[in-house]
Amino acid sequence: MIKNGKLLICIDNILRIFYSISIIAAVVIAKNLSHLSGVITKTPAEEYYYNNVLQMSSGLEEMGALNWKLALSLFFSWLIVLVCLIRGIASLGKVGPLSLSLSLSLSLS
């Protein structure tokens, strides 16, 4: 007989496997349907990345505005690389936590 704790772990593992299989099946079905209908579908993560993060336009004819969040994060990341190169490899351990906290704060804002 399986004890209660082990039974819950077994049920949890079975549900995780079922969930993983259902996600894989949904992705495969969506890709097959998009090929059949000729419509290219994007996942919600892809749509968010292209539309909100990158703010991509429809083409080269429409330039769009400068994405300030992306430009500032790129500037600060290159600034951190420059500081690391100037001070040498010994200061890398000191700059690492700063870059992590800075990148997290910029990505969450």
Q: Could you tell me what percent of the chain has a pLDDT over 70?
A: 71
Any idea what DSSP says for residue 39?
P
Cβ atoms within 10 Å of 61's Cβ, excluding its own? 6
Of the two residues 42 and 40, the one the predictor is more confident about is: 42
Q: What is the pLDDT of residues 51-100, one digit of tens each?
A: 887 777 777 777 777 778 888 888 988 888 887 777 776 655 666 677 77
pLDDT tens-digit series, residues 68-80: 888 888 898 888 8
What span, in angstroms and rounded, lies between the C-alpha atoms of 5 and 2?
A: 8
Number of Cα atoms under 13 Å in the Cβ half of residue 101 = 5
Between these two residues, 58 and 6, which has the higher pLDDT value? 58
Q: Where are the domains of the chain?
A: 1-40
